[in-house]
Structure 1
Amino acid sequence: MSSGAPASTTVAQIAEEWDSYQEIPAIDEAYAEALGDQFAGQFSGATPDYLEQLAARLGWSPQARVLDAGCGTGGLTAALAARTGCTAVGLDASPAAVRVARTRLAGRPEADRVSYAVGDMGDPDLAPGSFDAVLAIGSGYWSDPVTTTRHWRELLRGDRPAVVVVISRILRPQTARDIELTLQEGLFAPHPDWETALRAAGFDIEVRDLTEPDAECVERLYAALARRLPALRSQMGDAAGQRYLAEVKVLRDEHRAGRMRRTEIVARFGGGRDTA
């Protein structure tokens, strides 16, 4: 979960906001309660099981090298490497998130196949032709899809490189309150058009709906956070703790109203089929 800000919001400002959410025990505990044994130590409804199944569908072998663009605190990056044997690189604009990711990785069996870096996922300073896939889970809100897709294409190698974007969208216009509560530009309409950008870059795309499992996760998460509101206020400050709960309430309420969609976009070169 990330947070709608005005179009002037910079990557640095978003990173600063995210820095304030790192290492808050009440938040970690709520996500752990909501996800159970699928909690990877990160604020995300994506799970290690999902990553393993995704890798199997796309044929990622232990020799694959995958960029996790917008990796946050890196739990999913490490889980991907642990479940599939691939090499995974996490990139995030938040220095605090990357610091947490590196600390949590230390001593884990997959540590030799995982690394993290601070940087702009939309314009990564990484070697061309060095990845078999780019994965962006819940991070495709602040980067322009057209320019970002072009930069990612330069990173890819192999016969059938892939880009996977998992993104949530709310099917109503953004209000002033939404802007106040959230930093996820594009969560509300107008939405970033990844599908068109990926097609224009020469990818074939396949789209799957992930709304139902996401709605179930958000329900559990809101309930777990609401029970911890006193702790959130204590650990984050009264206003920030109340705001964090309000952010999740927006997501829960939109799911309940049937206005929220969670979408997986798989884009590949060569032989793909377009089901969007």
Structure 2
Amino acid sequence: MTSGPAASTTVAQIAEEWDSYQEIPAIDEAYAEALGDQFAGQFSGATPHYLEQLAAHLGWSATTRVLDAGCGTGGLTAALAARTGCTAVGLDASPAAVRVARTRLAGRPEADRVDYAVGDMGDPDLPSGSLDAVLAIGSGYWSDPATTVGHWRNLLRGDRPAVVVVIRRILRPQTSHDIELTLQEGLFEPHPDWETALRTAGFDIEVRDLTEADAQCVERLYAALARRLPALRDQLGDAPGERYLAEVKVLRDEHRAGRMRRTEIVARLGGGHDPC
């Protein structure tokens, strides 16, 4: 999902708003241009090359089953399966996003290794011990970390299961303008504390800064969307089209001001050494 609530907005309302962004050609084209050959419309900033590096670091293979928590239109989920050979399950609160994900997946070579479902990423309705890893890229604002980590841990199996959370954070308080744009709650201070939640649940964590690569991605994305503003207005409506571009402009401007951070948190359970 790309946009989020003021404090009183429910996840269902967020999903309903996000539904309006599905199957918009101008948005699809801009994301495809900014991210590469990943499915369009995925507001994650995760390029296929990044997914390959992550999978190599964690030793993911054809026997690995990964949950993409908060999958949106499913581009990242399918790209992960295509680039690593793993089995991937995409889960999102937006029925429209999941419908789009399933439609786009049809006929692709990785279709037999990818499933999508509507559900709560913070409490997935999946069997205990059915996953090797959980991946949450750009979706860490939609659930309480402490509660969510407990549910995720129950789903994990194997000797060295992993949780990966990649989250953007802006280093200033939220303003009324930010609220008007309905950006993610927690994108501004105070931030969801995934690090403490994961450590408390018994995970060993590695934290890595991805800010420079994210800044480059956001610059490409904003430029691609700005060139398509007339099409955004036509396809979304004047005000929604301009607001969508304004949301991305906030990210671009905060990066330029040095107030944006993108953090990768890799959490592992169990002993031993990482495969890399």
Shorter-chain TM-score: which interval? over 0.9
CA distance 1:272–1:242, change in 2 (3 Å) = farther
SS of structure 1 residue aligned to 2:170: strand
2:68 aligned partner, one-letter code: D
Across the two proteins, how many residue pairs are aligned to each other? Answer: 272
| 26-35 vs 156-165, greater mean Cα deviation | 26-35
Letter of the 1:148 counterpart:
T
| Alignment of 1:73 onto 2:112 | no
Question: Separation in 2 of the partners of 1:44 and 1:179?
Answer: 21
Within 1, Cα distance between the matches of 2:160 and 2:182? 36
Give the match for residue 38 of structure 2: 39
Shift, 1:126, TM fit? 0.9
**Amino acid of the structure 2 residue aligned with 1:262:** R
Q: Distance in 2 between matches of 1:272 and 1:189?
A: 36
Distance 1:31 1:107 in 2: 21
Alignment-derived partner of residue 199 in structure 2: 199
1:171 and 2:171 are equivalent in the alignment: yes
- Percent of aligned pairs with the same amino acid: 88
Contact 1:4–1:186 (CA<8 Å) still a contact in 2? no
Give 1:49 shift.
Answer: 1.2
- CA apart distance, 1:70: 0.4
Alpha-carbon distance in structure 2 between the residues aligned to 1:69 and 1:179: 24
Ranges of 4+ aligned residues in structure 1 off by more than 4 Å:
none
The answer on whether the counterparts of 1:61 and 1:86 sit within 8 Å (CA) in structure 2 is yes
Q: What's the C-alpha RMSD, in Å, of the aligned pairs?
A: 1.3
Partner residue, 2:212? 212
Tell me the distance in 1 between the aligned counterparts of 2:208 and 2:268: 14
Q: Is the 8 A contact 1:133 1:156 kept in 2?
A: yes
Preserved contact between residue 77 and residue 88 of structure 2 (Cα < 8 Å) = yes
Amino acid at match of 2:39: A
Could you tell me which runs of 5 or more consecutive residues in structure 2 were left unpaired when the two chains were aligned: none
> How far apart, CA to CA, are the structure 2 residues paired with 1:212 and 1:73?
25
Return 246-255 or 263-272, whichever deviates more.
263-272
CA–CA separation in structure 1 for the residues paired with 2:215 and 2:37: 16
State the TM-score, normalized to the length of structure 1: 0.96
Secondary structure of the equivalent of 1:172?
A: coil
Correspondence for 1:53: 53
Q: For 2:105 and 2:65, locate their aligned partners in 1 and report how far apart those are by CA, in whole Å.
A: 18
Number of the residue aligned with 1:268: 268
Which amino acid in 2 is paired with 1:228?
R
**Structure 1: segments with no counterpart, 5+ residues:** none
